[in-house]
Amino acid sequence: MKLGMLTACLPDSSLDEIAAWAAKTGYESLEVAVWPRTGGRDFEAAHLPVADFGAREKDDTLALLDRHGLSISALAYYENNLHPDRARRAEIRVHLKHAIDTAAALGVPYVGTFVGRDWTRPVAENLAEAERILPELVEYAGERDVRIVIENCVMEGWHPDGYPGNLAYSPELWEWMFGLGLYLNWDPSHLTWIGIDPVTTIAPYADRIVHAQAKDIEIQAGRIDRYGFFGKATGRKDPWDTGWWRYRVPGRGQVDWNAVVDALYEHGFTGTLSVEHEDPVWGGTPDRVRQGLEIAHRSLRPLLVA
C-alpha cells in the first residue's frame, strides 16, 4: 500500500511544485486532478493538459515523476456523467475520454469520476440511463488498459434539495455499478455521515476496491438535533453546508484509521491510500492546505508498512 495525495487541493500550484513538495513530505504517489480550465468553476485543478496531451507532455510528465521518485495512482476528473443538460453531459464525456487517453499514455491504471445524477428525474430512471451510456465508457477505457473508478461521494450539493447527486453512495449501488464494469475509489468519510460503518464495507467488496481516498469527517455534536439528517433547509447559502458535519484531514475526525488500514491490509489491498484534503480548518491558503496535508501524513504514515 502506498500513501498518496489528491492534487486538487492545490489548484494554483503546478504539478512540478506539488510533486517536489509531496516527495519531500514523504508522499509516494499522486492522484492527479485533470479538470479543464474553463473559468466556470470555483476551483479548476488542471494539473495535466489531458485535452492536448502529446508525446512532449508525456515525456515531460514521466521525467517529472522520475525526478521526484513518485508515481501517479490515478487521474481525477470527478464530474456528473448523468448531467441533466445534455450539452454539458457531452462535454464531460469528451473530457473524460481525454483523461482515459492520457492515463493510457502514462501507464496510469485508473481514472476517477462520478456516476452522477440527473436531479430532475427519479433514481430508477437515472439507473436505466446510466446502464445505457456508461458501458461504452467502460469499454473505451478497457481497450486502453484503464479502469474507471467511482468515488462513493454522496455529492449532495449537486441536488437542489441536498439529496444524493451521485448514485454510487451505498453498497447497494456499488453492486449495481460493478455490474456495469466500474470499480470503486473507496472513501470512508462519506459512509460515516450516512450511517454506514466504513470498515464493514471493505471485506465484501475487496476485489473492487482498487483505489482508496483518505478523508476524515467530524460529526458536530448536537447539531443534527436542529437540522435533521438532510441538513439545513432554510438559509443554506452554501449547498455543501449541511450544518451538522464537516470534512477533516485524517486524524482530526471520527474515522478509525487503525481499523481502516488494518482491514485494507487484511483483505489484500495493494493500491494507493490517497489523502483528499477538504478540511475547512486547514484550508484557505496554500500554506494552510500544506499544513493539513502534513497532519494527514503524520497520522497515516505510521499505520502503513514501510
Amino acid 37: pLDDT: 80
- Per the DSSP assignment, residues forming a β-bridge with 209 are 184
pLDDT exceeds 80 at position 38: no
pLDDT exceeds 90 at position 41: no
pLDDT exceeds 90 at position 235: no
Question: Residues 126-173: pLDDT tens digits?
Answer: 999 999 999 999 999 999 999 999 999 999 999 999 999 999 999 999
Q: Where are the domains of the chain?
A: 2-217+255-298
- Residues 174-199 have a mean pLDDT of 98
Q: What is the DSSP letter of 204?
A: G
- Residues 99-119 have a mean pLDDT of 98
Cα 232 to the chain's mean position, in Å?
A: 25
- Residues 249-265 have a mean pLDDT of 98
- Residues 41-51 have a mean pLDDT of 80
Amino acid 40: pLDDT: 52
Amino acid 221: pLDDT: 93
CATH classification (class only), 2-217+255-298: alpha beta
Q: Which three cell numbers stand for residue 220?
A: 458536530
Amino acid 306: pLDDT: 79
pLDDT exceeds 50 at position 42: no
pLDDT exceeds 50 at position 201: yes
Amino acid 289: pLDDT: 98
Strands (E), the chain: 2-6, 29-33, 71-80, 110-114, 147-151, 183-186, 209-214, 216-219, 245-248, 272-275
- Residues 283-291 have a mean pLDDT of 97
pLDDT exceeds 60 at position 175: yes
Going by pLDDT thresholds of 50, 70 and 90, the confidence category of residue 288 is very high
Q: What is the DSSP letter of 84?
A: S
Q: 106-133 burial by CB neighbour count: b if 16+ within 10 A, else e? A: bebbbbbbbbbbbbeeeeeebbebbeee
pLDDT exceeds 90 at position 188: yes
pLDDT exceeds 60 at position 39: no
| Residue 93, C-beta contacts closer than 8 angstroms, at least 6 positions apart | 81, 137
